[in-house]
A and B are shown apart, each in its own frame.
Chain A
Amino acid sequence: GHAEGRYGLGRPATPDEIAAWDVNVMPDGRGLPPGSGSVEDGEVLFADNCAVCHGDFAEGVDRWPPLAGGIGTLTEERPHKTVGSYWPYLSTAWDYVHRSMPFGAAQTLSPDEVYAIVAYILYSNDLVDSDFVLSDENFLDVEMPNANGFIVDDRPETEYPLFRREPCMSGCKDGPVEVTMRAVVLDVTPEQAEARQARETQAA
C-alpha cells in the first residue's frame, strides 16, 4: 500500500497504467514491444501518414524536417542532419515515431506500423535493402552511421578554464572597433508597427 511513503500520498500505479504511459525505448532496445515491419509496408504507410510533410523519400518538404540524406555532411558549412546522418540510436527513431508522430495525430500507429515506417526511413537513408524487415529481434543489428558522433559535454575542460579569468578593463583591443556585420542588411526581423507607432508617439 501507499502508506509506506513518508507522507502516504498518492496511490499505487497499476501495471496496466504503467504499460499505457511507459512506452519509452532505451538505446539497448529495452522497452521495444514484439513486432516487425517491412520496408515495403513502410513505404505505403509513409506515403499515407508522413510524406505530406517529410516527402515521399523522407527528404523533407518546405521547412519540415528531412529524415534522410546528408550522410557525411556534418563538417560542412551547412550540415544536413537527419536520422541517417546524425541520429546515434535507432531506438530514438522508433520511440519518437511511436509516441509523437504523425504531427497532429500522435499515438495512432501500431507497433508493427512503427517497425515498418522505421524500416522505410532506414531504406531512405540507404542503410538497408528494399527487402529488409525490421523487428524487435534484429533491431540492434542496424548500424547507425553517426553512432560514435557524440561526446558528453566537455565545456568544463575546453571552455571553463579559458573563460574563468581576470577580465580586461582597458586597452582591450587595438584601435577603434569597426562594424563587421549588421542585422538590418538581412532585414528578416518581423515588422513592428505598434512599437514604431509607440515610439513616434513618445517622440512627437
Chain B
Amino acid sequence: MADGFDSRHGGQGASRRAFLKGSVAAVGGAAAVAAGAAAAAEGDPLILEVQEWASGLGDGVDAVPYGMPIRFESDVIRRHVEWLTADPRSSVNFTPIHALDGTITPQGCAFERHHSGAIELSKQDYRLMINGLVERPLVFTYWDLERFPRENHVYFCECAANTGMEWKGAQLNGAQFTHGMIHNMEYTGVPLRILLEEAGVKPEGSWIYVEGHDASSNGRSIPMEKALDDVLVAFKANGEALRKEHGYPVRLVVPGWEGNMWVKWLRRVEVTDGPVESREETSKYTDLLANGIARKWTWVMDAKSVITSPSPQSPILHGPGPLVITGLAWSGHGAITRVDVSLDGGVSWQQARLAQPGQPKALTRFYLEIDWDGSEMFLQSRAMDETGYVQPTKDELRAIRGTNSIYHNNGIQTWWVKPNGEAENVEVS
C-alpha cells in the first residue's frame, strides 16, 4: 500500500524537518512559533522553493482501493494496556479520542472489547434465532434482515468500565486511556421491535436474553420495555458494514446503555419471563458498593465529558495566545444540553460552545476558545443533560459508592496544564 505505516521519515518531509531544526535552537511549544517567525523573516522555503508535490505527480486513483490514513497520522491508533488483563483475547483497547475531532469515530480506530477474541463470521454462515416466549420461533439469514424496514441513528457505545481504572486515583496518563473505551457511529439496522413482532411476543414475555455467536456468548438480559423502545439490530456503521471486531455482520445497538449489552455477532434473542442472571450481569457488570452490597442492572451510562485537547497526549505546542479547548460530552439519558469548562480546577466555570445541538445518547463536541497567558491551568469539563443531571466530581461519586465499583465512573476529569504546555492526569483538592 502506498501509505505504509512503517516509514516515518523520508522524501521531502525529512529535508523540511532538517531545515526547521537547523534554523531554531529552541525546543518545545515555543519552537513552532519561533520557526514560523524565522521562516517568515527570511522567506519560507516551503513557499519560495518549488516543492516536489507542486511539480511531480501524486498517486494514481488505482493505487489504493480502500485507503488508510496518511502515514503522518500513524499515532492516531488504538492502544492496548497490557497489564490490564490476562489475555488480549479477553481484553480491551482504546480509541485515540485525544486526536479526533467532531463526533463520528473512524471505525478503524474505534475501541474493541472482546471476551473470546474478534471472530470471523461470514454473511453466508450468519444466522439469527428468535425463540422462547414467542408465537413463532424464527431463524433469519443475514439477507432476511436486509429486507426489513431500516432506521439510521447515531449513538455512543461506552464500555461500562470506561474510566474504571481511575476509581482509586489518577492512574493512566492520557484521555485515550482514561476515557477511550468509547465510540460513536451512525448505525443502520432494523429495530429489534420489528423482529420481535415478526415472531410474536407472548404476553408473559417480559425480558429478552441476547447472546453472540462467539465462544464467550456475552449473554445479557434486557427488559422488554427497552427491547421494544430503541434497540437496533445493526448491520452497517458509518455507512459501511460493521468491522469484524465490532460484530460483523450483525450487532445489537442498545442506545444509552453500557457497552457490554451491545452484543456483537448477535446470534439469538430469547424472550423470557425473567432475567437469566448470566455471568455478564452477576460476576461482571455489577457494581460493588463500600458496604459490600453490589448494584446490579446498572444499564444506563450517566452524563459524562472529557477535554480531549489539551490533554496529556495532546499538549499545547504553540505557546501562549489563542487556544482551542475541546472535548466530548454524552449522556445515556438523552441529549447533552450544556457543557461548562473550568480552567482553575473547579473554582469557577464558564459555558462552552456546543458544535451542534446535543443529540440523544450520542457524543456531543464542545469548544471553548481562550487566550492562554501561559500560566498553569487545571482544566475540567462538566456535562449537563436534558434531565437536568449535572456530571458529578469523582469525590461525590466515591462518597456514595466507595472505590471498588469498577464500572460507571463518570466523574469530572482534571488535566494539569503546565506553563510549558504539557498536560497531566491529576486529581485536585
A pairs with B: yes
**Are B172 and A188 in contact (CB-based, < 8 A)?**
yes
Q: State which residues 57-115 of B face A: CB under 8 Å.
A: 72, 74-75, 77, 79-83, 85-87, 89-90, 115
**Are B31 and A160 in contact (CB-based, < 8 A)?**
no
**Are A22 and B347 in contact (CB-based, < 8 A)?**
no
If A7-B198, A189-B172, A195-B313 touch, does A21 touch B277 (CB 8 Å cutoff)? no
Residues of chain A with a CB closer than 8 A to B348's CB: 169-172
Residues of chain B with a CB closer than 8 A to A27's CB: 274, 276-277
Stretch from B44-52, B246-254, B294-302, B360-368 that touches the partner: B294-302
Q: Please tell me which one of the listed residues A170, A173, A190, A194 contacts residue B74 in the complex, with CB atoms under 8 A apart.
A: A194
If A24-B276, A203-B29, A204-B17 touch, does A9 touch B302 (CB 8 Å cutoff)? no
Q: What 1/0 mask marks residues of chain B from 23 to 66 whose CB sits below 8 Å from any chain A CB?
A: 01001110110010000000000000000000000000000000
CA distance A99 to B116 in the complex (A): 12
Q: Please tell me which one of the listed residues B171, B197, B317, B400 contacts residue A203 in the complex, with CB atoms under 8 A apart.
A: B317
Q: Closest residue to A25 on the B side, CB-wise? A: B276
**Are A5 and B200 in contact (CB-based, < 8 A)?**
yes
Q: State which residues 298-349 of B face A: CB under 8 Å.
A: 298-300, 302, 312-313, 315, 317, 340, 344-349
A83 to B: closest C-beta gap in Å? 8
**Are A17 and B293 in contact (CB-based, < 8 A)?**
no
Residues of chain A with a CB closer than 8 A to B131's CB: 13, 18, 21-22
Stretch from B181-189, B236-244, B388-396 that touches the partner: B388-396
CA distance A24 to B172 in the complex (A): 38
B409 to A: closest C-beta gap in Å? 13
B209 to A: closest C-beta gap in Å? 6
**Are B86 and A63 in contact (CB-based, < 8 A)?**
yes
**Are B139 and A17 in contact (CB-based, < 8 A)?**
yes
**Are A6 and B197 in contact (CB-based, < 8 A)?**
yes
CA distance A179 to B21 in the complex (A): 35
A32 to B: closest C-beta gap in Å? 13
**Are B198 and A103 in contact (CB-based, < 8 A)?**
no
Q: What 1/0 mask marks residues of chain B from 135 to 171 whose CB sits below 8 Å from any chain A CB?
A: 1111110001001100000000000000000000111
**Are A150 and B177 in contact (CB-based, < 8 A)?**
no
Interface presence of B429 (CB below 8 A): yes
Q: Please tell me which one of the listed residues B82, B137, B282 contacts residue A87 in the complex, with CB atoms under 8 A apart.
A: B282
Q: Closest residue to B27 on the A side, CB-wise? A: A203
**Are A10 and B144 in contact (CB-based, < 8 A)?**
yes
Q: Please tell me which one of the listed residues B270, B293, B347, B392 contacts residue A24 in the complex, with CB atoms under 8 A apart.
A: B270
Interface presence of A154 (CB below 8 A): yes
CA distance A173 to B211 in the complex (A): 48
Q: Closest residue to B268 on the A side, CB-wise? A: A21
Q: Please tell me which one of the listed residues B27, B424, B428 contacts residue A178 in the complex, with CB atoms under 8 A apart.
A: B428
Interface presence of A135 (CB below 8 A): no
**Are A179 and B215 in contact (CB-based, < 8 A)?**
no
Interface presence of B219 (CB below 8 A): yes
Q: What 1/0 mask marks residues of chain A from 56 to 89 whose CB sits below 8 Å from any chain B CB?
A: 0000001111000000001100110101001111
**Are B296 and A10 in contact (CB-based, < 8 A)?**
no
Residues of chain B with a CB closer than 8 A to A13's CB: 129-131, 137-139
Stretch from A39-47, A90-98, A111-119 that touches the partner: A90-98
Residues of chain A with a CB closer than 8 A to B427's CB: 179-181
Q: Please tell me which one of the listed residues A99, A182, A199 contacts residue B424 in the complex, with CB atoms under 8 A apart.
A: A182
Residues of chain A with a CB closer than 8 A to B199's CB: 5, 10
CA distance A172 to B216 in the complex (A): 47
Q: Please tell me which one of the listed residues A163, A198, A204 contacts residue B27 in the complex, with CB atoms under 8 A apart.
A: A204
Q: What 1/0 mask marks residues of chain A from 140 to 167 whose CB sits below 8 Å from any chain B CB?
A: 0000000001111111001110111101
Q: Which of A53, A168, A197 has the most CB of B within 10 A?
A: A168
CA distance A18 to B350 in the complex (A): 57
B115 to A: closest C-beta gap in Å? 8
CA distance A78 to B89 in the complex (A): 26
Interface presence of B20 (CB below 8 A): yes
Interface presence of B122 (CB below 8 A): no
A11 to B: closest C-beta gap in Å? 6
Residues of chain B with a CB closer than 8 A to A183's CB: 170-173, 312, 424-426
Interface presence of B123 (CB below 8 A): no
Interface presence of B384 (CB below 8 A): yes
**Are B294 and A5 in contact (CB-based, < 8 A)?**
no
**Are A63 and B382 in contact (CB-based, < 8 A)?**
no
**Are A199 and B317 in contact (CB-based, < 8 A)?**
yes
Residues of chain B with a CB closer than 8 A to A110's CB: none
Residues of chain B with a CB closer than 8 A to A86's CB: 283, 294
CA distance A13 to B389 in the complex (A): 45
Interface presence of B387 (CB below 8 A): yes
Q: State which residues 27-45 of A face B: CB under 8 Å.
A: 27
**Are A180 and B429 in contact (CB-based, < 8 A)?**
yes
**Are B298 and A5 in contact (CB-based, < 8 A)?**
no
A30 to B: closest C-beta gap in Å? 9
CA distance A81 to B345 in the complex (A): 35
Residues of chain B with a CB closer than 8 A to A189's CB: 81, 172-174, 177
**Are A165 and B390 in contact (CB-based, < 8 A)?**
yes
**Are B279 and A160 in contact (CB-based, < 8 A)?**
no
B299 to A: closest C-beta gap in Å? 7
Residues of chain B with a CB closer than 8 A to A190's CB: 79-82, 177
10 additional contacts, CB 8 Å, given A21-B129, A149-B293? A2-B138, A13-B139, A22-B270, A26-B272, A27-B277, A149-B294, A160-B387, A165-B390, A181-B426, A202-B32
A-B pairs with lowest CB-CB distance, top 5: A177-B345, A63-B86, A106-B215, A74-B292, A10-B138
15 A-B residue pairs with Cβ-Cβ distance under 8 Å, sorted by A, are A2-B136, A10-B139, A13-B129, A21-B129, A21-B267, A63-B83, A92-B282, A150-B282, A153-B300, A164-B390, A172-B349, A181-B426, A186-B170, A195-B75, A197-B8
